[in-house]
Amino acid sequence: MGNIVPHLWYKNITFSSGKAHFVAITLLSDIVYWYRPTIIRDTSGMIVGARTKFKGDMLQKSYQAFADT
């Protein structure tokens, strides 16, 4: 599962002109994706836990990594 963008973001994350701020929406969806937990399942498919997609307690992504995105 990748980045998911709620449709309301296109209405609420805008420039003062009212046009959607696509760069901000893309960056926010990337951050939300990284913080959404990964579900861990056992062999029968039952959920046994969750983990983060990154090591440590905070996402370590540089400005350059966001710029490259």
Give residue 57's pLDDT band: very low, low, confident or very high (50, 70, 90).
confident
Locus of tokens 């992504």: 61
The reported pLDDT for the residue numbered 58 is 82
Predicted model pTM = 0.74
CA distances from 65 to 2, 3, 9 (A): 17, 16, 22
Q: Which residues pair with 14 in a beta bridge?
A: 20
Q: Are 61 and 27 in contact (CB under 8 A)?
A: no
Which residue intervals of 1-69 are DSSP H helices? 7-12, 22-35, 63-68
In the chain, what percentage of residues exceed pLDDT 70? Answer: 99
